[in-house]
Chains A and B, each alone.
Chain A
Amino acid sequence: MSIRDTQFCASAVSVTGLRKAYGDVTVLDGVDLDVPPGSVFALLGANGAGKTTMVRILSTLTPPDAGTVHVAGHDLRCDPQGVRRKISLTGQYAAVDDLLTGEENLRLMARLSHLGRAEGKRRARELLEQFDLVDARTRRAGTYSGGMTRRLDLAMSLISRPDIIFLDEPTTGLDPRSRQSMWEMIRRLVDGGVTIFLTTQYLEEADRLADRVAVLDGGRVVAEGTPDELKRLVPGGHLELTFTRPSELHDVAQAFDDAVLDADRLAVQVPTDGSIGQLKTLLGRIDDQSVTVDKLSLHSPDLDDVFFALTDNSNASPIRNEAAAR
């Protein structure tokens, strides 16, 4: 027991050498991960990268082929019920009962979590308030909007006060406002001390929410670190200037040694670290050229750049080339 407790203190989820194949198709090819407790961990990957398989394995739904997995200090193979008592799963497709009302859905979860009648009722009310579903509590979940359904789904996951919450693409298909409110709710959960393991194909989501990000590609983790660490893996940001006349383009390009020219679009990209001081100097020098800038935009490196840089160098590109060659 003491060993387990130590592991729990050390990490909420620890994965070593995880493999999973469906027939000939290898989905996870030796994944190592470590998620500290009380943090938000984002698993980033394109469709089909193995994100959902990863979550299904960690939440005890799918047995792995090989590897060691500890979730909340419990060994996944030896003690799946122990894992289940500490986690909750909110899958990619909202797992709510469409014929039950919002409140009934929560009460069912409370009953299955053996909370007891009074406590179950109290907890359901609490979550209805927390997730802004009080007015909709007597309506069937089938009549809810996409955003409301996701909120109910998440609320149902929280009934038993799990230590670790798995969220498989929590905002896929949501409109921008619902996405923002989902992010807000996830942040509040983290403030409450739970560990969140989420998968996403949106880099912005990982950037906004996660303490650590792992990029999954071709069944392997191709990069892992804080969002800032990952951004440092790719070249810095730049200032892009667009002109109306080619002559102006060349004038400016000559003034900056490190400028990158795009003659077709009459655009020039000047590298910058994005600081106000440097931008001021840059703009001053452009102004000295007495040219008319048609459009100006500042591009700072984001996880998109990281994602494309990382996944282009791995097995994603040969597949793409093969497909193109056919």
Chain B
Amino acid sequence: MIPNTQSRPLDDFAAMTGRSLTRLLRSPDTMIMGVALPVMLLLLFVYVFGGAMQTATGYLDYVVPGIILLCAGFGSSQTAVSVTGDMVHGIVDRFRSMPIARSAFLFGHVASSVIRNLLTSLVVIGVAMIMGFGPTAGPIQWLAALAIVALFILAISWLATALGLLAGTEEAANGFTFFLLFLPYVSSAFVPTDTMPSWLHAFAENQPVTPVIETVRGLLLGTPVDDTALIAVLWCVGIACAGYLWAITLFTRRAAR
């Protein structure tokens, strides 16, 4: 490679992130998936299912981390769809024929996905507070809990970006991210896992969502966190790295066509 004296990868990354965020703000999906959905899920789980649930704490306090992760799953499916849209509608060819940093396109999508999902998480927490969510956490625990949530969002954003590159159509991209929405249901997000049959219990305890939920819940409500925090971080870092490598590989392979 001949050195490119004009290259400014950070500027390219900022431009791409700005573009993705503007698109998100203008897409009708965003208001529905990013604001209306979290509110509806909270109301549904707390007021419809909540009365029947037997949890140690109040059900609202129990369910908030799960709603955050579920909403992040919905958000990441929007990320996958927008990546696929750019790939199939030709704009990526324009970017790739310009002298810009190649990875700026992917990093822009991931960055806007993280920002969008963090904002949705804040909506969930805000609405939950209005409904009476009463975490006992101090500032340090709050920051730690948000950091874990951010790390989880980063991980599934890279995974969703890779799935978006893999999918040939926007409908397929939506389908591929289905399991991201499904995982929180088979975890400790909505019910304690010990009520599940033993085979399902084993799965629920050993899939990535449960340690993330347990860690966030522990930090916010002051229940013991133990080594679940470490397991949660390892899962998230692992998924983020795998998603990143997969996305870069897919993007390069697509380039060769």
Contacts and interface: CB of A to CB of B under 8 A. Distances in A.
Interface of A: 22, 56, 59-63, 78-79, 81-82, 84-85, 87-89, 91-97, 99-100, 104, 108-109, 111-114, 140, 156-157, 160
Nearest to A74: B2
Contact of A63 (B7, B89, B256): B256
A81 B2 contact: yes
Contacts, number: 76
Contacts of A63: 256
12 contacts: A61-B96, A61-B255, A62-B257, A87-B97, A95-B91, A95-B94, A99-B27, A100-B19, A100-B23, A112-B100, A113-B98, A156-B94
Please give me the 6 A-B residue pairs with the lowest Cβ-Cβ distance, nearest first. A95-B94, A84-B99, A89-B97, A95-B90, A93-B90, A111-B15
A61 B99 contact: no
B88 to A, nearest CB: 9
Given A104-B22, A114-B6, A91 B98 contact: no
Contacts of A61: 93, 96-97, 255
A84 to B, nearest CB: 4
A111 B256 contact: no
Contacts of A100: 19, 22-23
A114 B95 CA distance: 13
Interface core residue of B15, B19, B94, B97 (most chain A CB under 10 Å): B97
Nearest to B27: A99
B57 interface: no
Contacts of A87: 97
Contacts of B255: 61-62
A51 to B, nearest CB: 15
B4 interface: yes
Nearest to A97: B91
A112 B12 contact: yes
Interface string B5-18: 01110011001001
Contacts of B1: 79, 81
A146 to B, nearest CB: 15
A81 B99 contact: yes
Contact of A99 (B7, B18, B26): B26
Given A62-B257, A79-B2, A108 B19 contact: yes
Nearest to B15: A111
Given A92-B90, A99-B23, A160-B98, 18 more contacts: A61-B97, A78-B2, A82-B2, A84-B97, A85-B6, A85-B99, A88-B98, A91-B90, A93-B89, A94-B90, A97-B19, A97-B91, A100-B23, A108-B15, A108-B19, A112-B100, A140-B26, A157-B94
Nearest to A79: B2
A99 B99 CA distance: 24
A287 to B, nearest CB: 58
A81 B93 contact: no
B19 to A, nearest CB: 6
Contacts of A91: 90, 93-94
A108 B256 CA distance: 26
A39 B93 CA distance: 24
A255 B251 CA distance: 70
A230 to B, nearest CB: 30
A22 B18 CA distance: 36
A195 to B, nearest CB: 16
A153 B175 CA distance: 31
A253 to B, nearest CB: 55
Interface core residue of B8, B27, B99 (most chain A CB under 10 Å): B99
Contacts of B27: 99
B91 A96 contact: yes
Nearest to A142: B26
A160 B97 CA distance: 12
Nearest to B96: A61
A192 to B, nearest CB: 20
Nearest to B89: A93
Contacts of B6: 85, 114
B107 to A, nearest CB: 14
A95 B15 CA distance: 17
Nearest to A90: B94
A156 B4 CA distance: 22
Contact of A97 (B23, B96, B97): B23
A82 B1 CA distance: 10
Contacts of A92: 90
A111 B14 CA distance: 10
Interface string B28-60: 000000000000000000000000000000000
A117 to B, nearest CB: 11
Nearest to A86: B99
A144 B7 CA distance: 33
Nearest to B6: A114
A288 B231 CA distance: 102
Nearest to A58: B97
A60 B97 CA distance: 6
A100 B6 CA distance: 26
